[in-house]
């Protein structure tokens, strides 16, 4: 009987969290590239930038001024995509045209007063302060009656549409469950019903045993290139303990989360010796008051770079019209990330 060779045969892999398939075409990694070459971000930034709308003391849109903050700083997005006063009412024309009002809140969290730093280059104490801020924001927003989901995410790099290199993330909290959360909710609930167990508890233990997709781990968390990764160097960061959301972190888990984030993003930056662009976000239980025992906290990192600092993966053509596809296998991507140093390339002596 023929057996499947992951390094040779085109194959499909199932994403357990979404129920969707990805096509893997390992034999295509050597194809030539004559397409778009990305512009590299500037290598050196100033610690303070007079024109930056996130730096301490500077003016933002609409004339508001940032305080002279010293660690993290949170403000309501001046161009919020969601507004609290919106009525969550349904609208329907002939069951063909459907809409619902979507109340919510959008905030920006600055990680540091330093314009030139990133999570990879901040010290652990400063990242720990960011973790505490994420938790405070989650708790505060989740307690509001019209907020049923809190999405914390970071866009890094111009390539990901980030408007400003100043280290920051966003929080969008709203009334209805976003699409990705609905898919993951359904898959985690199905698994729990079928297996009487947690999907991600079982998955991380399998990945820890197999080892080939593991990138970095500590006592409380581990990061893998998931078996079903779509982006070339995508990772999934999972808590070892069965936690639904970040406010359940112990003191030790808060520290360990800061530590593993720094180690993971340092490896990313070292891969092509560039401030590695990505979209990263936390997935956690909905906060509509339900218990959600099936939900297991995790973080997705979706970086677009493919084989150098200037060649990115595009999600077009087949991906838009049929399904996502990748060339490099997740196992090969994990091996590359495992080889990387955890000392940032800009901080190496010599
Ligand atoms: P990025 O993470 O995509 O760079 O977004 C930064 C956010 O900052 C963006 O959502 C907001 C934008 O609306 N912003 C303000 O709230 N005030 C400003 O003065 C400029 C940008
Ligand atoms: Zn700045």
Residue extents of the structural domains in the chain: 44-337
Which of 64, 163, 166 has the most ligand 1 atoms within 8 A of CB, as the residue to mutate?
A: 163
Ligand 1 atom with least separation from CA of 64: 19
- pTM for this predicted structure: 0.96
pLDDT tens by residue, the chain, 350 residues = 789 999 889 999 999 999 999 999 988 766 666 677 777 666 689 999 999 999 999 999 988 999 999 999 999 999 999 999 999 999 999 999 999 999 999 999 999 999 999 999 999 999 999 999 999 999 999 999 999 999 999 999 888 878 799 999 999 999 999 999 999 999 999 999 999 999 999 999 999 999 999 999 999 999 999 999 999 999 999 999 999 999 999 999 999 999 999 999 999 999 999 999 999 999 999 999 999 999 999 999 999 998 888 888 888 899 999 999 999 999 999 999 999 999 999 998 75
CA distance 26 to 10: 7
Q: Which CATH architecture has domain 44-337?
A: 2-Layer Sandwich (3.30)
- From residue 95, alpha-carbon distances to 87, 92, 179 in Å are 20, 6, 20
Question: How many of the other CB atoms lie within 10 Å of CB of 10?
Answer: 11
Residue identifier of the C-alpha nearest atom 11 of ligand 1: 77
For the chain, how many residues are written? 350
Ligand 1 atom with least separation from CA of 75: 16
Residue 242 bears catalytic tag: no
Q: Which of 115, 168, 298, 300 is the catalytic position?
A: 168
CA distance 265 to 245: 21
Residues with CB under 5 A from ligand 2 (ion): 49, 52, 54-55, 115, 166
């Amino acid at each position: 009987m023929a057996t499947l060779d992951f390094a040779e045969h085109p194959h499909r892999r199932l994403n357990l969290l979404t129920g969707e398939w990805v096509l893997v075409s390992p034999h295509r990694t050597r194809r030539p590239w004559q397409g778009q070459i990305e512009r590299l971000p500037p290598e050196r930034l100033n610690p303070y930038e007079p024109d930056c709308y996130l730096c301490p003391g500077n003016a933002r849109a609409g004339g508001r001024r940032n305080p002279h903050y010293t660690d993290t700083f949170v403000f309501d997005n001046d161009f919020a995509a969601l507004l609290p006063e919106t009525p969550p009412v349904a609208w329907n024309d002939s069951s063909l045209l459907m809409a619902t009002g979507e109340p919510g809140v959008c905030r920006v969290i600055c990680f540091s007063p330093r314009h030139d730093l990133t999570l990879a280059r901040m010290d652990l104490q400063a990242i720990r302060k960011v973790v505490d801020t994420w938790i405070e924001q989650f708790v505060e927003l989740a307690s509001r009656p019209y907020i049923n989901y809190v999405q914390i995410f970071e866009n890094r790099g111009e390539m990901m549409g980030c408007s400003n290199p100043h280290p920051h993330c966003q929080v969008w909290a709203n009334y209805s469950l976003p699409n990705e959360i609905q898919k993951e909710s359904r898959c985690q609930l199905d698994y729990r019903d079928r297996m009487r167990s947690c999907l991600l508890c079982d998955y991380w233990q399998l990945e820890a045993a197999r080892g080939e997709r593991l990138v970095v781990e500590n006592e409380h968390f581990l990061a893998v290139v998931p078996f079903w990764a779509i982006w070339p160097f995508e990772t999934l960061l999972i808590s070892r303990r069965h936690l639904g959301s970040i406010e359940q972190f112990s003191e030790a888990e808060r520290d360990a989360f800061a530590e593993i984030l720094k180690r993971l993003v340092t490896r990313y930056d070292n891969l092509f010796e560039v401030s590695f662009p990505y979209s990263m976000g936390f997935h956690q239980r909905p906060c509509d008051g339900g218990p959600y025992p099936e939900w297991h906290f995790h973080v997705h990192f979706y970086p677009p770079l493919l084989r150098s600092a200037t060649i990115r993966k595009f999600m077009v053509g087949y991906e838009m019209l049929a399904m996502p596809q990748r060339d490099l296998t997740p196992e090969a991507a994990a091996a590359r990330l495992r080889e990387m140093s955890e000392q940032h390339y800009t901080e190496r002596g010599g």
